[in-house]
Amino acid sequence: MITDSWYEIGAGHEVCEDYAIHGQFIKDEAEIHYAILSDGCSSSSRSDVGARILCHTAECILKNYSVVNMRYIGNTEDFAVSVISQARSYCVLMGLPQVCLDCTFWMIIGVKNLKNIGMDVIVLGYGDGCKIQRIYGEDSIDVVGYHYTSGAPYYMNYLNNDDRTQSFLDFSEGNPVYQYMVPSDGYLGNECEIDSESVYHMSLTAFKPTDIVIVSDGIFTFNVDKEENKWAYLESIKFKSYTAGFLKRRMKRFKKTREERNISHFDDLGCIALRIGDDDFETANHRSNCR
């Protein structure tokens, strides 16, 4: 199991408001891999700093969570409330406006329990962006895009803030979510709208090699039409190897391809990835046989 992160400035920005980190640690007889992405709102002051505060605050709080509680991060607001409350206190200490925390927030956690065979995966998301998932042995890539037709998305910073939550409900036109099944031969499947809540969460136990990539909404802003833009989903997950820095290498190659085709993205582009490989299951099966 391995994670990686990457972010780059968009053509329309002077300061990159996307930020991403990743890492791993051992706790409670489990190996934890995580990646965290945040995308600051351009209309909110100092959100480039806010995105960094959210990522590092979440990282710190995650490391203090028990493995048991990690599995429920997506099912309650407890983790998110802890992150945003602590981040707000940092803003007070730094003299930053609270609106700097108006940021999209995504987190992937992979838990390799040293006593079990399956790999637990938790994904938590507040805001817009895109989730790309490939399970090896299946014939397609699952792409889910989170778009808001107007106004800002539902940020974590709205938690425990009744006025801003009500303002979101009054002015938001909802969160249309679009899902594509992209066959492995590269043919781009049809788009369909699916139902979704304002907060995204997913929990699964993987029993096959799996790639999950989360990309900020910059992936929707390439200077190509909507249909041609779908090629970006495939390019974002076309990994050739899975050693350290696998996502950075992929995105650098993707950037070179874009430059050759004179294609750019207006908004900043940030992404995080989790890879569960064959060796994870070989190790797990060995542990199972030795019990």
Residue 283: give its domain's CATH number. Answer: 3.60.40.10
Write out pLDDT tens, residues 168-199. 777 765 555 566 655 555 445 555 555 555 67
Sign of CA dihedral 90, 98, 157, 2: negative
Mind listing the pLDDT tens digit for each residue in 27-83?
988 999 999 999 999 989 999 999 999 999 999 999 999 988 888 887 888 999 999
Backbone angles phi, psi at 224, to 5 degrees: -135, 165
Q: Which has the minimum average pLDDT: 82-86, 176-180, 239-243?
A: 176-180
pLDDT at 103 over 90: yes
Q: Which residue has the tokens 């990743």?
A: 22
pLDDT of residue 282: 60
Which pLDDT belongs to residue 288?
Answer: 36
**If you write DSSP's letter for every residue of 195-231 in order, what string do you get?**
---SEEEEEEEE-S-EEEEEE-GGGG-BSS-HHHHTH
Q: What is the pLDDT of residue 141?
A: 79
Q: How many structural domains comprise the chain?
A: 1
User: Given pLDDT bands bounded at 50, 70 and 90, which one contains residue 136?
Assistant: confident
Q: Which of 114, 113, 154 is nearest to 122 (CA)?
A: 113
Counting residues of the chain whose pLDDT is more than 90, the rounded percentage is 50
Buried b (16+ CB within 10 A) or exposed e, 190-229: eeeeeeeebbbbeeeebeebbbbbbbbbbbbbbebeeeeb
What domain range includes position 76? 2-290
Residue 160 in tokens: 């425990």
The confidence score (pLDDT) of residue 211 equals: 92
Q: Which residue has the higher pLDDT, 42 or 228?
A: 42
Tokens representing 108?
A: 């992937």
Structure confidence at residue 225 (pLDDT): 77
Higher pLDDT residue, 110 or 290?
110
Question: Would you call 150 exposed, middle or buried from its count of C-beta atoms within 10 A (0-12, 13-18, 19+)?
Answer: exposed
Helix axes 78-94, 47-63, angle to 10 degrees: 130
Q: What angle do CA 238, 244, 246 make, to 5 degrees?
A: 15
Q: What is the biggest distance separating any 2 CA atoms in the chain, rounded to whole angstroms?
A: 58
How much is the mean pLDDT over the chain?
Answer: 84
Query: Which range among 42-51, 91-100, 151-160 shows the weakest confidence by mean pLDDT?
Result: 151-160
Ramachandran angles phi, psi of 283, nearest 5°? -65, -40
With bands split at pLDDT 50, 70 and 90, how would you rate the model's confidence at 149?
low
What is the pLDDT averaged over residues 195-204?
68
Return the beta strands (E) in 77-128 as ranges. Answer: 103-113, 119-126
Nearest 10 degrees: Cα torsion 22, 126, 277, 238: -90
Closest C-alpha among 232, 275, 251 to residue 108: 275
